[in-house]
Amino acid sequence: MCGIVGVVGKTEIAPILVESLCRLEYRGYDSCGVATLNSVGVEVRKDVGFVQEVAYRQKFASAHGGLGIAHTRWATHGGVTRENAHPHLSCDGTFAVAHNGIISNHEILRRELRGLGHRFSSETDTEVFPHIVEEIHRSGISVEEAFVRALRRLEGSFAIAMISSRDPEKIYCARQRSPLVLGIDSGRHFFVGSDVNAFLHFTRRAVVLEDGEYAVLSRDGYFVRAIADGRTRSKPIMEINWSLGETEKAGYRHYMEKEIWEQPDVIRRAMEVSQKEIVAVARLMRAAKRNVLVGVGTTYYVSLFGQYLFAGLAGEFSPAFSSDESGELLMMDRETLLLAISQSGETFDTLQTIRQAKADGARTAAIVNVPGSSMTREAEIVIHQNSGPEICVISTKAAMAQMLLLMRMALELGYLRQHPPAMENLDLLREIMELPDLVETMLRNQQLQIRDLAHRFSNRRNWFYLGRGLYTPIALESALKMKEVTYLHAEGMAAGFLKHGTLSLIDEETPCVFLIPPKEAKDLYDLTMGSVAEVRARRGKVIAFAFESGGGKFDEEVILPKASVWLAPLLHLVAGQVLAYETALVLGRNIDRPRSLAKSVTVS
Ligand code: F6R
């Protein structure tokens, strides 16, 4: 939700902090700030606005000091104001703190601290922390000890970074249910960040902190200890195989556009995931009595797509749940396998579902994009989708890879079970190898046409996305893309559902984007065309993403390159992404950072 970075080095670090902050901005972007340590003490600069804007106004890059912390905020506790922006200071200004997460007992702590004479200048939960450290430190103990004792007073979740003029050579940081990673650029800089994007432009060597650990960084090195008992932990260094180029826009106007166009490559990488790993999950699924798929937002729709794949290719009913609701609905036990899907690997609701599953004795597997993220460490079996960094807040390429990996698993499970559709579709793997070219062709040939649609329809307030069967989750996902990036109302739905109520909303002002299956999927095709007729009868505008012309049955048609029945929805997926992107461009929206949204929702 928020982004934290801290750097200690042998040079002036403010320019590095600013650069890192820009790279973390996708985690939150309503306000930001930096705190550096120099001969004057702790110096804080912060304000409301996007990083580049605030950094320019407040002259972040000219803040002096060889160590500092910075924060980009997405408000949870307290409005979007300068006072609520991080870093926050103690009363005497000697401790500065940046925090991500929610300190759930902050009200009690605040009352207690007020009683001791502390004054607060923000409404945030975070601000209690520097005051507690200041209070504890008064008793004459070291800053490290005060930091750790203060951590022990906190309930809830936190990733915290702190600097102090009372110990001016160090950055203190800690993690409890909010991600935090160290970056090791030996001999030059040591970093702490909410994720590896904070330091990937300097080093690919990372150390992932676990819950309940804290670290102290200085110019000469770092150590990691347990918050509970202070014992030193030895931590492996992992190499992140993302390249810096992947985090640049590389000539595209937006990360969203770049990530849409990266999909051919992302598909190839998803196909490079070893078959051994796919088989391992398929075997677990075969052994389990119940398989459950879970994700949230886009990854819920990916899971739903998986539900159709497992039903169709493997003859297996594997219900998909949205992880924000799974607490109420999911019954897990030793005979259940939970397959979680997440781009960030940090989403609170999905992570909680994995933890609950483990506590109930269930087996767990996960498809995750971000290396070293919490889910990669907490799920029993992890498939790394290896799609590279997804910077745009809106998920596009990650979802594509996840869908393909689920397709491979469904095919494998079907094969293990000798389920006829899987046996008849063994060629599917070979066909997927052709998918990158199809996606590329589609992007090259249809982008202009979709752009034209965006120009003509961007003034419509309400959109519908309709599909049947395997195409239904894609309709839901395409509507989500439209909502997120254009702020227009869009509803995705199974086309068969339409006549059970929603048809009353359809009139000549309503664009209905239909995902038409290839004709070979005869039943689905006929059913979908039936729904097209229902919409047309109410004068709704039918925009068809189809594989051949409707011969006058559609108002608008975008003809996609021919693909087999199982792969066709993935071309619809891309067409939906492009339509959302182009419409947002026409409307002048903030495409990579839509209002009110943040990537990686690490709070409940
Ligand atoms: C939509 C989007 C969100 C995420 C959701 C889960 O474009 O990005 O709906 O899909 O917050 O995030 P991950 O996949 O990181 O668990």
Query: What is the CATH number for 133?
Result: 3.60.20.10
Last residue of a domain, one of 186, 207, 240: 240
The number of domains in the chain is 3
- The whole-number pLDDT of residue 252 equals 92
Q: State the Cα–Cα distance between residues 118 and 90, nearest whole angstrom.
A: 8
- The reply to whether 62 falls in a domain is yes
Give the percent of the chain with pLDDT over 90: 83
| Same domain, yes or no: 194 and 264 | no
Judge if 481 and 563 occupy the same domain. Answer: yes
Confidence tier at 242 by pLDDT (50, 70, 90): confident
CATH number of the domain bearing residue 462: 3.40.50.10490
Same domain, 314 and 350: yes
Q: What is the pLDDT of residue 604?
A: 61
Q: Domain containing 455: what range?
A: 443-591
Same domain as 451, residue 379: no
- Lookup result for tokens 């703190």: 97
| Inside any domain, residue 301 | yes
What confidence score (pLDDT) does residue 235 get?
94
Backbone angles phi, psi at 33, to 5 degrees: -170, 165
Residues 381 and 398 in one domain: yes
Active site residues per annotation: 2, 599
Looking at residues 63-80, what average pLDDT do you find? Answer: 89
577 lines ligand 1 (CB under 6 A): no
What CA–CA distances, in Å, run from 111 to 105, 107, 155, 190, 301?
A: 10, 6, 15, 36, 43
**Does residue 336 share a domain with residue 317?**
yes
User: Is residue 484 within 6 Å of ligand 1 at its C-beta?
Assistant: yes
Is the pLDDT assigned to residue 486 strictly greater than 80?
Answer: yes
Q: Tell me, yes or no, whether 101 lies in a domain.
A: yes
Strand-pair partners of 159: 100, 175
Q: Which of 17-21, 83-87, 427-431 has the lowest mean pLDDT?
A: 427-431
Predicted pLDDT at 602: 65
287 lies in some domain: yes
Residue to mutate (ligand 1; options 321, 374, 382, 395; most atoms within 8 A of CB): 395
Of 361, 391, 426, the position where a domain reaches its end is 426
Q: Is the CB of 395 under 6 A from ligand 1?
A: yes
Q: Which of 224, 240, 256 is the last residue of a domain?
A: 240
* Nearest residue (CA) to ligand 1, atom 5: 297
- 36 CB under 6 A from ligand 1? no
Position 255 confidence tier, pLDDT thresholds 50, 70, 90: very high
**Residue 437 lies inside a defined structural domain of this protein:** no
Whether residue 344 has its Cβ less than 6 Å from ligand 1: yes
d(CA 538, ligand 1 centre) in Å? 35
The pLDDT score that the predictor gives to residue 244 is 64
Quick one: pLDDT at residue 375? Answer: 94
Position 599 in a domain: no
Residue among 601, 603, 604 to mutate when testing ligand 1 (max atoms within 8 A of CB): 601
Ligand 1 contacts CB of residue 350 (under 6 A)? yes
The rounded Å distance from CA 343 to ligand 1 centre is: 7
Q: Compute the mean pLDDT over every residue in the chain, rounded to the nearest whole number.
A: 94
Q: How far apart are the CA of 432 and the centre of ligand 1, in A?
A: 24
In a domain, 230, yes or no: yes
At residue 140 the predicted structure's pLDDT band, cuts being 50, 70 and 90, is very high
DSSP state of 476: H
Q: Is residue 434 part of a domain?
A: no
At 151, which amino acid appears? L
Does one domain contain both 158 and 130? yes
280-313 in b/e form (b: 16+ CB < 10 A) is: bbbebbeebebbbbbbbbbbbbbbbbbbbbbbbb
* 250 in the same domain as 224: no
386-412 mean pLDDT: 96
